[in-house]
Amino acid sequence: MASVHDYTYIETPDRVRFFADRGWIVPIKAGRNHSLHAVSFPYARPEVQVFIERLSRQYRNACDEQLVVTSLTRPQNRQPRNASDRTVHPTGMALDLRSSWDRNCRDWLEGVLLSLERGGILEATLERNPRHYHVALFPQPYASYVASLEARGLSAPENTEYLVRSGDSLWKIARQHGVSVDEIRDVNGFRNDRIFPGQLIEVPPEN
């Protein structure tokens, strides 16, 4: 995919700055919904920036915690010893995400990543030591995916946020809002019906 996009593999920190000065990669800054931890070179392709902003907003709504980014663009001469020789971190199209201690948050994130992977939008790998998700984002397919979502959203009502209370179930919430359990699962990226009090979920509009 890096070859399809005709991306250069950045060799040194100086070249990272060279690419950033020309806007080929953009600065990634911490925000309300995501933080950066030990990221040496906080730059990435513009599509990765959009991906982080969209995913972290949804993750915060689902889990009430920040999404933690632990790596972005990494020049070839700064790769760790255990890095794959096929890594695309030097191209700016990859990022690493910390795995949460909360099982529900892990389930949510893995569900979303697997769904996007099935759609040919990214490739995600669970790695250990330390435990994290390595994500190679495919910029052109992702940009088309986001454009499609935004086009559909122009005339569609927005989802509403719902704070899960003790005794709630997806079935109960779905019945209250006139939607199906499957619809709630889809908009939140759930792989099962497990929810917990205090969790903020999205509920689609009634058909």
Confidence class for position 175, pLDDT limits 50, 70, 90: confident
Q: Could you give the dihedral angle defined by the CA atoms of residues 83, 85, 86 and 90, in that order, rounded to the nearest 10 degrees?
A: 70
Structural domains of the chain sorted by starting position, each given as residue range(s) with its CATH number in brackets: 13-147 (3.30.1380.10), 157-203 (3.10.350.10)
The pair of structure tokens assigned to 109 is 């994130």
CA distance 45 to 73: 9
pLDDT higher at 1 or 86: 1
Q: Could you give the dihedral angle defined by the CA atoms of residues 6, 12, 14 and 18, in that order, rounded to the nearest 10 degrees?
A: 0
Question: What pLDDT, in 10s, does the model give residues 45-103?
Answer: 999 999 999 999 888 877 889 999 999 999 999 988 777 778 999 999 999 999 999 98
List of residues 6+ apart from 137 with CB closer than 8 A: 45, 47, 48, 51, 93, 94, 95, 121, 122
How large is the angle between the packed helices 170-177 and 181-188, nearest 10 degrees? Answer: 110
190, 184 contact by CB (below 8 A) = yes
Question: What pLDDT, in 10s, does the model give residues 23-45?
Answer: 999 999 999 899 999 999 999 99
The pair of structure tokens assigned to 115 is 């769904």
